[in-house]
């Protein structure tokens, strides 16, 4: 404000001398810097990640931040007995009481812990121990810092990672000294090991504390320490993580266990011989005891469990001894960690039953009949219907799931003035409901158009500090980095049948095919549009199964140039190009390259064969000849 007043004073005194003109230039630079910092502040508070700093939408940021504050502010709470409290002191006391009780530990058993640890047979090799025990270096601290996201919420000191990254030349040496003192000299880090606990609403209009999820906002120094330790452990992760765990390692893909589970369940459902049945169940814990498991063929190994991050799928014989082993494992887990199994109906439906198919659906589409069967089982479980014991379903399942899923579809089901929608529309709705003021349709259309233009303008911009992709046009393909993958895409067109085929192939760093995708579509588009749709489809699939791509190839040089171009795309390709660039944000180190058709034969084969398919198909570890696939 002071700089602005001084500028006004200078320009109000005419004529302006050279000295005053120089001073005005300095003041204007200071003012621009302050305004930019203010914009960054409101952008961070607004949490609108599709907008970028420099879009000059400070008013928009301010509105979004204010809207988030109103949504997240807890004005009242509903207690377990149905009563409501609105006093700030009472709300604070109830929050402390609730979460203190929820996270209170009843203590663990030393004998149970020793028994649990005795089951860990693997040990670190001498060279691995030497690697972990070696002092950390300043280079590792710098790497950890610049791997952190710059504008995430800061901790109690208010300094995010971007502050340290931007001022590395000034603060780098002191920062390394402090972090290395903690890592190498075991200095007490209590002063930085403080977090801010924030409650995040799990749903709109959250009213009780069970509707909030607590998160911890750590200081950036603490994040650097944790990241440096994680980077040091990373080289030996493959040796200390269970071979049945399908995530946490770049060389493992989550759909490996999905395919195994699919085959296991298929064998269980079609097993018609033998007196002893087999069963499968899903649990959310790591230590589950020992099971004999089941084998689906004479020469196949017995499989007892598969791990999906923090979910575990168990396979066992349907016998009393297997049930006793499971119960004993859960009791041991409880005695060791003080955590208990929650068998509430709503928790099981949301956290278990709905989560089970999510991994499978990330790899391929489930038939409609399977989805309907899952919904039927969920409804029966909710209302207590088991086997021949049928109970009344007092509400239709479609009504019960409205609060869980809301799909926009074609927009015909959206009630603009009644439903919760984007901020300005919500304001118009409130005027209609509470003040009986009818909004002008022209005003609504004007605001919606302005909002859409802001969004498209923000997506079209590109900041030098955050490149979305890189382009190489050489026909020589560089060797991929170890533990990274390459994506090849291509498309073919059948004008006679108005059909296009999209193909994608993923290869590892040795050039070995690990997965292929074929997608048939009914459409009549230009060759470049078909190539863009193939690239978009391939990137989307790699995002869903979390494949770490290092290089992305297309044999359309025109498409590669458009992706790399800074100019705003005005053709029909615009929306597809935007989708591709958004998907590339999941692979910040990947480069988009043009490759000749001769180097892209696998993807071309998958695209050509897709013309003979009726639905999307995915293969693992092969590039199939569809003429012999049944």
Name the band, by pLDDT with cuts 50, 70 and 90, for residue 483.
confident
Q: What is the mean pLDDT of residues 468-493?
A: 67
Task: Report the pLDDT value the prediction gives residue 555, as an integer from 0 to 100.
Answer: 92
> Is the bond into 15 cis (omega within 30 degrees of 0)?
yes
Using one digit for the tens of pLDDT, what is the confidence trace for 538-561?
A: 998 888 887 888 899 999 999 999
Please report, for residues 46, 276, 432, 442, the alpha-carbon distance to residue 70 in angstroms, rounded to integers and kept in the order given: 12, 58, 20, 27
Least trusted range by pLDDT, from 65-79, 175-189, 220-234, 502-516: 65-79
Name the band, by pLDDT with cuts 50, 70 and 90, for residue 472.
very low
Q: Can you give 281-305 as a three-state secondary structure string?
A: EEECCCCCCCCCCECCCCCCCCECE
User: CA 94 from chain center: how many Å?
Assistant: 32
How is 539-582 classified by DSSP, letter by letter? HHHHHHHT--EEEEEES-HHHHHHHH--SPP-STTHHHHHHHHH
How much is the mean pLDDT over the chain?
A: 76
Greatest mean pLDDT range, 97-111, 253-267, 283-297, 503-517: 503-517
User: CA 281 from chain center: how many Å?
Assistant: 26
For the chain, percent of residues with pLDDT exceeding 70 = 68
Q: Provide the H-helix boundaries in 119-253.
A: 126-133, 138-146, 161-166, 168-185, 220-233, 237-240
The CATH T-level fold of domain 485-620 is Nucleotidyltransferase; domain 5 (3.30.420)
Q: What is the mean pLDDT of residues 321-326?
A: 82
Least trusted range by pLDDT, from 91-105, 170-184, 312-326: 312-326
Q: Are 526 and 562 in contact (CB under 8 A)?
A: no
Q: What is the mean pLDDT of residues 437-454?
A: 73
**Host H or E run for residue 471:** strand 471-472
Residues 6+ positions from 404 with CB-CB distance below 8 Å:
350
Distance in angstroms (rounded) separating the CA atoms of residues 563 and 569? 9
Distance in angstroms (rounded) separating the CA atoms of residues 479 and 242? 30
Task: Report the pLDDT value the prediction gives residue 630, as an integer from 0 to 100.
Answer: 29
Distance in angstroms (rounded) separating the CA atoms of residues 269 and 414? 41
Task: Report the pLDDT value the prediction gives residue 479, as an integer from 0 to 100.
Answer: 57
Distance in angstroms (rounded) separating the CA atoms of residues 123 and 249? 19
Q: Are 499 and 466 in contact (CB under 8 A)?
A: no
Whether residue 524 has pLDDT greater than 60: yes
Rg, the chain, Cα only: 29
Q: What is the mean pLDDT of residues 367-392?
A: 76
Name the band, by pLDDT with cuts 50, 70 and 90, for residue 316.
confident
Please choose, from the candidates 379, 372, 335, the residue with its C-alpha nearest in 3D space to the C-alpha of residue 357.
372
Task: Report the pLDDT value the prediction gives residue 421, as an integer from 0 to 100.
Answer: 52
Distance in angstroms (rounded) separating the CA atoms of residues 145 and 159? 13
Distance in angstroms (rounded) separating the CA atoms of residues 190 and 194? 7
3-class SS of residue 342: coil
Phi, psi of 522 (to 5 degrees): -95, 110
Residues 6+ positions from 365 with CB-CB distance below 8 Å:
615, 616
Number of C-alpha atoms within 13 angstroms, CB side, residue 108? Answer: 15
Of residues 247 and 500, more confidently modeled: 500
Whether residue 177 has pLDDT greater than 90: yes
Phi, psi of 306 (to 5 degrees): -130, 140
Distance in angstroms (rounded) separating the CA atoms of residues 386 and 20? 86
10 Å CB burial of residue 445 (0-12, 13-18, 19+) is exposed
Name the band, by pLDDT with cuts 50, 70 and 90, for residue 14.
low
User: CA 492 from chain center: how many Å?
Assistant: 32
Whether residue 317 has pLDDT greater than 50: yes
Whether residue 409 has pLDDT greater than 80: no
Distance in angstroms (rounded) separating the CA atoms of residues 156 and 366? 46
User: CA 169 from chain center: how many Å?
Assistant: 33
Task: Report the pLDDT value the prediction gives residue 270, as an integer from 0 to 100.
Answer: 74
Whether residue 31 has pLDDT greater than 70: yes
Distance in angstroms (rounded) separating the CA atoms of residues 376 and 383? 11
Name the band, by pLDDT with cuts 50, 70 and 90, for residue 231.
very high
Of residues 394 and 167, more confidently modeled: 167
Please choose, from the candidates 542, 470, 551, 541, the residue with its C-alpha nearest in 3D space to the C-alpha of residue 509.
551
Whether residue 493 has pLDDT greater than 80: yes
Q: What is the mean pLDDT of residues 61-74?
A: 65
Task: Report the pLDDT value the prediction gives residue 429, as an integer from 0 to 100.
Answer: 59
User: CA 581 from chain center: how many Å?
Assistant: 17
Q: At what angle do helices 320-337 and 110-118 cross, to 10 degrees?
A: 120
Q: Are 314 and 356 in contact (CB under 8 A)?
A: no
Whether residue 575 has pLDDT greater than 90: no
Q: Are 513 and 622 in contact (CB under 8 A)?
A: yes
3-class SS of residue 592: strand
């Amino acid at each position: 404000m002071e700089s602005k007043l001084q500028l006004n004073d200078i320009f109000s005194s005419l004529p302006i001398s050279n000295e005053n003109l120089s001073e005005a230039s300095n003041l204007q630079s200071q003012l621009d810097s302050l305004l930019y910092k203010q914009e960054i502040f409101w952008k961070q508070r607004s949490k609108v990640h599709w907008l970028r700093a420099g879009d000059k939408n400070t008013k928009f940021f301010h509105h979004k931040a204010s809207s988030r504050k109103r949504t997240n502010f807890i004005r009242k709470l509903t207690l377990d007995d149905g009563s409501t409290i609105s006093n700030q002191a009472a709300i604070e006391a109830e929050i402390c009481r609730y979460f203190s009780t929820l996270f209170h530990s009843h203590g663990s058993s030393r004998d149970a812990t020793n028994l649990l640890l005795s089951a860990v047979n693997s040990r670190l090799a001498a060279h691995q121990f030497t690697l972990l025990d070696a002092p950390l270096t300043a280079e590792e601290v710098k790497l950890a810092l610049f791997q952190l996201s710059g504008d995430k919420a800061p901790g109690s000191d208010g300094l995010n990672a971007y502050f340290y990254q931007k001022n590395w030349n000034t603060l780098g040496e002191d920062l390394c000294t402090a972090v290395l003192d903690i890592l190498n000299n075991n200095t007490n880090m209590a002063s930085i090991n403080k977090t801010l606990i924030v409650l995040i609403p799990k749903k709109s209009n959250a009213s009780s504390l069970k509707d909030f999820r607590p998160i911890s906002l750590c200081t950036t120094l603490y994040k650097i320490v944790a990241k440096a330790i994680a980077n040091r452990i990373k080289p030996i992760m493959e040796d200390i993580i269970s071979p049945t765990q399908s995530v946490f390692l770049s060389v493992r893909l989550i759909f490996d266990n999905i395919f195994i589970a699919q085959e296991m369940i298929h064998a269980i459902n079609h097993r018609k011989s033998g007196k002893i049945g087999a069963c499968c169940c899903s649990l959310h814990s790591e230590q589950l005891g020992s099971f004999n498991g089941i084998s689906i063929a004479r020469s196949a190994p017995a499989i007892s469990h598969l791990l999906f991050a923090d979910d575990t799928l168990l396979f066992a014989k349907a016998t009393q001894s297997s049930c006793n082993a499971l119960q004993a494992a859960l009791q041991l887990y409880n005695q060791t960690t003080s955590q208990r199994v929650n068998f509430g109906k709503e928790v099981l439906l949301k956290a278990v039953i709905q989560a089970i198919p999510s991994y499978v659906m990330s790899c391929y589409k489930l038939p409609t009949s399977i989805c309907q069967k899952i919904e039927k089982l969920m409804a029966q479980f909710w209302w207590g219907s088991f086997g021949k014991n049928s109970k009344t379903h007092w509400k239709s399942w479609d009504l019960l799931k409205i609060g869980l899923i809301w799909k926009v579809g074609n927009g015909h089901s959206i009630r603009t003035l009644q439903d919760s929608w984007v901020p300005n529309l919500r304001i118009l709705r409130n005027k209609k409901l509470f003040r009986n003021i009818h909004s002008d349709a022209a005003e609504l259309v004007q605001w919606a158009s302005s909002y859409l233009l802001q969004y498209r303008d923000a997506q079209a911009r590109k900041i030098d500090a955050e490149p979305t992709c890189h382009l190489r046009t050489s026909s020589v393909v560089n060797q991929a980095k170890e533990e990274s993958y390459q994506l090849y895409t291509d498309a073919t067109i059948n004008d006679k049948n108005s059909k296009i085929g999209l193909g994608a192939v993923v290869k590892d760093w040795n050039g070995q095919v690990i997965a292929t995708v074929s997608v048939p579509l009914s459409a009549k588009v230009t060759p470049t549009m078909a190539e863009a749709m193939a690239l978009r489809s391939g990137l989307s699939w790699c995002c869903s199964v979390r494949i770490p791509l290092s290089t992305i190839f297309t044999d359309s040089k025109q498409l590669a140039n458009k992706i790399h171009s800074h100019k705003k795309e005005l053709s029909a390709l615009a929306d597809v190009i935007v989708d591709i660039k958004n998907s590339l944000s999941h692979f910040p180190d990947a480069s988009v390259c043009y490759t000749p058709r001769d180097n892209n034969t696998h993807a071309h084969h998958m695209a050509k064969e897709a013309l003979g398919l009726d639905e999307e198909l995915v293969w693992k570890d092969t590039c199939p000849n569809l003429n012999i696939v049944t």
